[in-house]
Amino acid sequence: MTLDVIALQSATTAAWTALAPAILLGLTGLALLGIDTVWPDEPSNALLAGVAAAGSLVSFGVTGWLLVAGTGQASTGGAISLYGDALVVDGMSLFFTLIFTVVTAMVAVAAYDYLEDHSHRAEFYSLVLFAATGMALMATANSLATVFISLELASLPSYALVAFLKTDRGSVEAGLKYFLIGAVSSAVLAFGISLVYAVTGSLVLGDVAAAIGNPEMAGVLGLGVLMILGGFAFKTASVPFHFWAPEAYEGAPAPISAFLSSASKAAGFAVAFRVFVQAFPLDAVPAGVDWVVAFQVLAVVTMTLGNFAAATQENVKRMLAYSSIGHAGYALIGLAALTAGGPNGDVLGASMAHLLVYGFMNTGAFLFIALVEHWGVGRTFEDYNGLASTAPIAAVAMTVFMFSLAGLPPFGGFLSKYILFYSAIEAGFWWLAAVGAVNSALSLFYYSRVVKAMWIETPVADFEIETRPVGLYAAVIFAGVGTLLLLPGFGPVIETAQTVAATLF
């Protein structure tokens, strides 16, 4: 409580600044709607994309500045609690907001070219920004009520975005499927929250944790925890709530696939990390409610299933969708390798750092798909044959993404995976790391197929590349450079992630 008092004393001014990233994202979304109102007959695409990208970049900059300045972290008096503990700004929330904002910026820049021939652009950009606002709030949500609301704020625009290509059957079907599974899992989440409330009498995470040691109701609590876990599994596209992901990622416009599989997944993890670590701390939960075991099962099943399914695909976008499920499995190690009193900050921090690197490499890979779709090249591996000779720069970037996703050493993805597995071993879960390493080795098979098609195979059909879309190229190259620089520059990232993660426990 003393911490709260200190926070509140400086809160009147600090409150606004601490929430600035989310507020900026929301305002940008509103500004986009405003532009659409002022010029109702199709405002300029460049203006919309520019505003969306600038808004998210400013938000990114502010988040980075807050993170470096130590806002909400131990050096300046700890987490900043707002609105009666409903929201909390700390190092972790800022770290995740960094991921959301940078992905949003890349998606907005890439969408500039992607939306060239489409109407309703303002709606598209503003929905992206509102979803990003929801994600930023998810990372700060400190009460099960705000968790639910922010999760819905992030999800509802996403449903519309997946179905954005409304004349395309695949897109509409994907949107419907996403929406139906989303609705079911929201209901499950809400039910789980109500069960937890029934046992503990509070929705604020800290109060839940304080009241959780009630052994009489352990069964009901366990059911509630399990249902909450199901709700998060949907958002992170983890087994068994992953069925929507391949269809949604394949049917959605490629920039939206990038957005959902990188930012939205990270948001799911942000909220899962906070809720499970803070509301159901391992040393307080009754013996029957051992959620770590559930996450261990989920992690193993998710990464194995994702990888094996990805290996059997013929369609590159669908392969990436399954690979994205596999990566959710790796990130789940952050929760699966927790122990009471273990090096939990290291494990969770490693998982967060992996999500950041993943934000770059996976977004880049999907945006490359967007580029290829823009050129009208097909979707299967064979259609990618010989792309490197017509578009060498983009092919180099895609090669970087593929090898980095596979975890080959010269790229950022290797380091983040390595440190994730390493901290799992340190926590005593060498078998989790072993399953992860074997899966990671297997994944090289299907990632290298893309590389092989682009560079080594000869093209089956002649295709001419007429345009070099500036926005898509810029976003892809930005993601590629980010993936490369995260190898030498990984030190500060992992240090920040592990430090801020350690303060959660």
Partner 1 sequence: MIIEALIAVTFLAALVVFVAPNAYAAKLAAALSVLPILGSLWMWAAYDASGNALLGGEIAFETDFVWLTVGNLDLHWFVGVDGISLPLVVLTTVLTTLAIVSAWTPISERQSQFYGLMLLMEANLLGVFTALDFFAWFVFWEAVLVPMYFLIGVWGGPNRRYAAIKFFVYTNIASLVMFIGFIALVFGLGDSVSSLRLPEIAQALRADELAGFAGVDAATLKTVAFVAIFLGFAVKVPIAPLHTWLPDAHVEAPTPVSVLLAGVLLKMGTYALLRFNFTMMPDVATALVVPIAGIAVISVIYGAMLALAQEDLKRIVAYSSVSSMGYVILGLVAYTTYGVGGATFQMIAHGLISGLMFMAVGVIYNTTHTRMVGDMSGIADRMPITAGIFVAGAFGYMGLPLMAGFAGEFFIFKGSFASTVHSAMPLFTAAAMFGIVIVAGYLLFAMQRTLFGPFSFDDDYEVTTAPFHDVAPLAVLLLLTIVLGVAPDIFFGMIQDAVNPILTGGGL
Q: Which of 422, 477, 502, 505 binds partner 1 (CB under 8 A)?
A: 422
- Our CB check for partner 1 shows the closer of 116 and 495 to be 495
Q: Which of 437, 474, 477, 502 binds partner 1 (CB under 8 A)?
A: 437
The answer to whether 351 and 334 have CB atoms below 8 angstroms apart is: yes
What is the per-residue burial (b if ≥16 Cβ within 10 Å, else e) of 183-209? eebbebbbbbbebbeebbebbbbbebb
The answer to whether 99 and 47 have CB atoms below 8 angstroms apart is: no
User: Which DSSP state fits 264?
Assistant: I
- Our CB check for partner 1 shows the closer of 40 and 492 to be 492
Within 276-295, the residues that bind partner 1 by CB under 8 A are none
Q: Which residues pair with 82 in a beta bridge?
A: 87
Cα–Cα distances (Å) from 266 to 54, 95, 262, 315, in that order, read: 22, 11, 6, 24
Cα–Cα distances (Å) from 198 to 90, 100, 192, 263, in that order, read: 28, 33, 10, 32
Our finding on whether 426 is near partner 1 (CB under 8 A) is: yes
Q: Which residues pair with 143 in a beta bridge?
A: 204
Residue 87 three-state SS: strand
Our finding on whether 485 is near partner 1 (CB under 8 A) is: no
Instruction: Point out which span in 84-92, 178-186, 244-252, 436-444 binds partner 1 (CB under 8 A).
Output: 436-444
CB of 185 to partner 1, least distance (A): 35
Our finding on whether 414 is near partner 1 (CB under 8 A) is: yes
- Our CB check for partner 1 shows the closer of 213 and 428 to be 428
Q: What whole-number distance in Å separates Cα of residue 341 and Cα of residue 265?
A: 28
Within 204-243, the residues that bind partner 1 by CB under 8 A are none
Our finding on whether 341 is near partner 1 (CB under 8 A) is: no
Q: Which of 23, 210, 487, 502 binds partner 1 (CB under 8 A)?
A: 487
Q: What whole-number distance in Å separates Cα of residue 164 and Cα of residue 43?
A: 18
Our finding on whether 389 is near partner 1 (CB under 8 A) is: yes
Instruction: Point out which span in 115-123, 259-267, 303-311, 444-452 binds partner 1 (CB under 8 A).
Output: 444-452
Our finding on whether 477 is near partner 1 (CB under 8 A) is: no
Our finding on whether 346 is near partner 1 (CB under 8 A) is: yes
Instruction: Point out which span in 101-109, 224-232, 283-291, 402-410 binds partner 1 (CB under 8 A).
Output: 402-410
CB of 404 to partner 1, least distance (A): 11
Residue 205 is encoded by which pair of tokens?
Answer: 């995470």
Q: Which of 340, 356, 503, 344 is nearest to 423 (CA)?
A: 344
Angle at 302 between CA 298 and CA 305, to 5 degrees: 140
Our finding on whether 375 is near partner 1 (CB under 8 A) is: no
Q: Which of 243, 430, 463, 505 binds partner 1 (CB under 8 A)?
A: 430
Our finding on whether 459 is near partner 1 (CB under 8 A) is: no
The answer to whether 272 and 232 have CB atoms below 8 angstroms apart is: yes
Residue in this structure with the two tokens 């002649």, named with its chain if needed: 462
Our finding on whether 448 is near partner 1 (CB under 8 A) is: yes
> How many residues at the interface with partner 1, by CB under 8 A?
30
Instruction: Point out which span in 73-81, 115-123, 180-188, 490-498 binds partner 1 (CB under 8 A).
Output: 490-498
Our finding on whether 36 is near partner 1 (CB under 8 A) is: no
| Distance from the first to the final alpha carbon of the chain | 16
What residue ranges bind partner 1 (CB under 8 A)?
343, 346, 389, 392, 403, 408-410, 414-415, 419, 422-423, 425-426, 430, 437, 441, 444, 448, 452, 455-457, 487-488, 490-491, 494-495
